[in-house]
Amino acid sequence: MPFTNRNDYLDGRKPVVFPAGGEVVAVRFPIDLVAADLDANDTGAVALLPAGCVPVGLVYDSDDLDTNASPTIAASVGPVNAGETDLSDVWASGIIASREGTAATVALSRAAMRLATSSADLKIGIKFTAASATKANGQVGLTLLYRAV
């Protein structure tokens, strides 16, 4: 099930930055999540990788979405499928920043680093691979670092 909320980038109210040359661009894509979004296998789009660009880095930041004394929430990041119900590829997994409300620089998979450029924007999403033990509403952000090819 796609996330309850969407952000301005996904809805076209904010344009995604496109690199003017060979520089790396960093854009933070925030999304507000509700308790219903924090079950295992819940997946939703968060960011857009512009057509003609490839990823070079990723930072995942989050509010504390699991207020339990023994938090369990974990996430993966990657491109989402057409229905935004699953990841079509996993670029990073085992992300636990939502357990305490922190940020983590995430190592991208080899597949992400070798991604062929596309003629269409690519939606990047989050999939919760483990549910929140005690759900709490909050914001998650993906800062996507990318460059034009």
CATH number at residue 77: 2.60.120
CA–CA gap between residue 82 and residue 72 (Å, rounded) = 28
Residue 131 located in a structural domain: yes
In a domain, 103, yes or no: yes
Domain count, the chain: 1
Range of the domain at 121: 25-148
- Indicate if the pLDDT at residue 1 is higher than 80: no
Residues 21-60 have pLDDT tens digits of 889 999 999 999 999 999 999 999 999 999 999 999 999 9
Residue 15 lies in a domain: no
DSSP element (H, E) containing 113? helix 110-113
CB count, 10 Å around CB of 120? 9
Asked whether residue 12 is domain-assigned, the answer is: no
Indicate the pTM of the whole model.
0.95
